[in-house]
Structure 1
């Protein structure tokens, strides 16, 4: 749904549950150019964006040539993004929102489509840097990748320990994905769904319209990007399920992955054992 919506996704999960393999498989199936960044504390912005090098031609004339970094791909995977320093994390901000980057004052357009899929390990905190709110807000969804159930894990161990490996082939082209993304944006959406999105997001902000729990526990509320994300994600969900328009039920189903990384709780909430899931569940129960 995130890709059909034209957005970026943050995958949260422990090591060893095939987050990287899933991203690589999706990129191959969609026929997109792919690049992978292994984020570490010593990773520099130039390692992502690229840099200018001084060259000399046959006549002795010197000029700068820009060498593109891995960000100039259609499908960029930032593995363990919270291990990169804040300075390096900020290199993605402009790209994720404006789909171009500036190097030495010169703008460079990114390919279309452009998607960032970042992974994060929720267990290890040593040597990590929390993502700033401005960057979290640029991810359309946060998806928590849990351990597989018994049936799925059985299939995994049988498929991955044999001598034969499944080959992945592209089933669509870049233009196909762009056409689907345009179709998602052109999909009609009812006033009742728009009202539900506005009510949900506005009640998640402390103030006169908020619930008692929001006023008491929420320190960072969702902004307008949350409403935009829900508008796109509900349309993409309806399209995937073969429906002509989204419903209020789609808003309820997508509220948590769209809002969870766009909200933060205060110390009182943590002391009382209140979670964001509890707050979002309360907000959706009244829609």
Structure 2
């Protein structure tokens, strides 16, 4: 499970029926051995943070995607939690919905990212794009809003598996996720200060890689990685996270007396302020006052004689 993937709500149970190649129901659950008893429904843990994808008439593409993703998603792809079949025999893949902020909103909160932060956000996207171009990774389709920054600051692609469907229709702006990865990297570098010396070089490499070959994409990845060392992604909390209110002003004699009493207590406990960093205790002040009065009285008595 990658960083930032947390289950925010208690789990609820749903039922899935898994089918073996023999066509008979197969009892399967987390952490238990699969058996072939009677026709029994299987209870599988599910939460509201999950997303369930169902295969269409041809389930080959979804099976290939699930097998590729289950082999090792890494921290920048959504992990597969369960694969099974529903009561009517349709292939179902359950993935963990990532929690976080969309990349565009995160960039709005960051402002103008430093080259190091831009490297942190864009290099994982470019590595996924290179892996997809080389045939080492299967991705579906997505939109720019499917690029998220999770709680740990890692960028995550939440793609739609090929050949899958959900109750929600496909967004009209959905495009191949391989291109979304490059658009996300370009969106990151567009926020970098144009006066930065590396900005023009990266912009040229991005333009060449968007419609270029695998070599252009690898040159882009190498160029971005050489700009700066990766830096952690941080942003300031919203202004309303810390609300400070002023103390109510004194309106009556009781409050004034309470403030005077508090000031007197502070003088007794902490002393009389002399400088911003020094205080004189009340006891020392009283001893000094008594000595001063005594010396003054002695001088007056001796002069009077």
TM-score range relative to shorter protein: under 0.3
Normalising by the residue count of structure 2, what TM-score does the alignment of the two structures yield? 0.21
Normalising by the residue count of structure 1, what TM-score does the alignment of the two structures yield? 0.22
Higher CA-based Rg: 2
Larger relative contact order, structure 1 or 2 (CA cutoff 8 Å, min sep 6): 1
